Structure 1
Amino acid sequence: MTIENKTARFAGFIYLIVILTGFFSLMYVPSKLMVWKDPALTFQNISSSVQLFRLGIAGSMLCYIAFTLLPLVLYKLLKNVNGTYAKLMVILALISVPVSLMNLQSKFSVLTIIEGADYLKAFNTEQLQSQVMVLLNSYNKGILIVQIFWGLWLFPFGYLVYRSGFLPKILGIFLMLGCFGYLLNVFGRTIIPHFSDYSVSDYITLPASIGEIGTCLWLLIFGVKNKTREIVEVD
């Protein structure tokens, strides 16, 4: 196995960690605990499954740690395709990491309320339930902000995949489309009230999912094509 193939498979492995931990923390845990129109039930769910809530936070932290490594490994693999785009890919991806980690503060604050610190006795149950919902909604708004960079990094990444000559061009196209899907989702939810009620909101980030999962699996299973290729680096 060539060094290039080892790098590709390592990138695929890290990408898989990002995808699995991201799915667990952003989709699975909320689906089990959050009932957005029922603060009392949400409070009860988190209180009775606090360990799952904690695992969701830990999953997010692991996801962001892996996402710190991912663009650096991809840079090593793709820098000869286009140095400028490779650097831009790394910068846009890494910007999201501290923002994502800081956003977890809202979930730690939820834990403080759920676990019942003494100074919270001044609040009644309904007030605590409302505070939890405010914090969870604040966390979701933070995720919306982070999605700007989750989208932006996909364009240079997709371009590099498309031009690489050793990864399927169709994956690069999906990644670049995914960039615009994320941005449309962010601005749609910001500008249009009840954007989530529109059916398009369920599919707008689908190209990104196809591109990222597809690229992850290709790197992990196939690595890179073993063939001679000429790549002109454009800086």
Structure 2
Amino acid sequence: MTTPKTLARIAGALYLIVAVFTIFAGLVNASIVESEDATATTDNIRDSATLFRVGFVSELLGATVFLLTGMALYLLLKHVNQPAAAAMVTFVAVSVAIQSLNLLNQNAALTVATGEDHTATFGPTGSAQLTLLFADLQHNGYLIAQTYFGLWLLPLGYLVVRSGYFPKMLGVLLMIGCLGHLVDVFARLLAPDFGADISPFAMTPAAVAELSFAVWLLVKAVRIPEADTAHDGDRVAAYR
């Protein structure tokens, strides 16, 4: 039977792998896609097609590992509150499904940008506009998935607080991170310019919370209560 400490370290390692793959994919897209310039975006994709494909695969791998992370944390924390743990892993599954399906838009942008048939059919300008349309759809689809990236932190934070395995402040930070994700998503969807301006501030708590939690899982694992006997005969919890 897998011990809580082993499960925690597995989850922590998976969580950090998710961060590496996802951040890399985001940096690739940010360096290639220019949302206001269809021609530049098309040229960038065509000139960096291999890098764009690597970014695509990186995000797909990150999504897959994120699902495994949620499953590992479910096994670790389901004894605390089974409905909350089920809600947590359900939010993860929904976000992964949306994120994975949304990658079709990125693949479509690559196909149009690099396909001679599309240029011949739509013309250089039409082909470039279609490429940018799919790239923008991929960005907006990721925002929709981000809604669930945020929501999973709410039950996770609750479970962290109640488990006794971790410092309660970690759980509080995770729940604040949920709010930050949601503020970022809805601000970007309702007022794109304003959302872009406040995004770094909204996302900082979530980034700090998730990175801190992942490192704690990997390095500290969990604190396991041990039964000990005090001088007055009462039983107290001591943490190793």
TM-score, normalized by the shorter chain, greater than 0.5: yes
In structure 2, the CA distance between the partners of 1:135 and 1:119, relative to structure 1 (3 Å rule), is: closer
Provide the secondary structure at the position in 2 that maps to 1:228.
strand
Question: How big is the shift at 1:119?
Answer: 5.0
| Higher Rg of the two aligned structures | 2
> Counterpart of 1:217?
215
Cα RMSD between the aligned structures? 1.9
Q: Does 1:41 align with 2:40?
A: yes
Q: What is the distance in 2 between the residues matched to 1:139 and 1:151? A: 18
Q: Where do 5+ consecutive residues of structure 2 fail to align?
A: 228-235
Question: 2:9 aligned with 1:13, yes or no?
Answer: no
Matched, 1:62 2:61: yes
Work out the CA distance in 1 between the residues paired with 2:128 and 2:69: 38
Q: Secondary structure at the match of 2:176?
A: helix
SS across alignment from 1:166? coil
Asked whether 1:23 is paired with 2:23, we answer yes
Q: Give distance in 1, aligned partners of 2:183 and 2:195.
A: 12
Structure 1 CA distance for aligned equivalents of residues 5 and 118 of structure 2: 56
**Post-superposition offset of 1:190:** 2.2
Gaps of 5+ in 1: none
Checking the alignment, whether the CA contact within 8 Å between 2:161 and 2:172 is kept in structure 1 is yes
Between the two structures, name the one with larger relative contact order (CA 8 Å, sep ≥ 6). 1
Contact 2:43–2:113 (8 Å) recurs in 1:
no
Amino-acid identity (%): 36
Q: Which letter maps to 1:215?
A: F
Deviation at 1:22, TM superposition (A): 0.7
Q: Does 1:113 align with 2:112?
A: yes
Does structure 1 residue 80 correspond to structure 2 residue 54?
no
Q: Which residue of structure 1 lines up, in the alignment, with residue 232 of structure 2?
A: none
TM (norm. structure 2) is 0.89
The superposition leaves residues 76-96 of structure 1 with CA deviations (integer Å, 9 ceiling, x where unpaired) of: 111122222111111111111
8 Å contact kept, 2:118–2:127: no
State the partner residue of 1:205.
Answer: 203
1:122-201 correspondence to structure 2 within 5 Å: 122-198=121-197, 200-201=198-199
Q: Counterparts of 1:46 and 1:118 in 2: how far apart (Å)? A: 16
Aligned length: 228
SS at match of 1:224: coil
Q: Quote the residue 2:93 is aligned against.
A: 94
Q: Is the 8 A contact 2:170 2:213 kept in 1?
A: yes
How many angstroms apart in 2 are the aligned matches of 1:169 and 1:120? 57
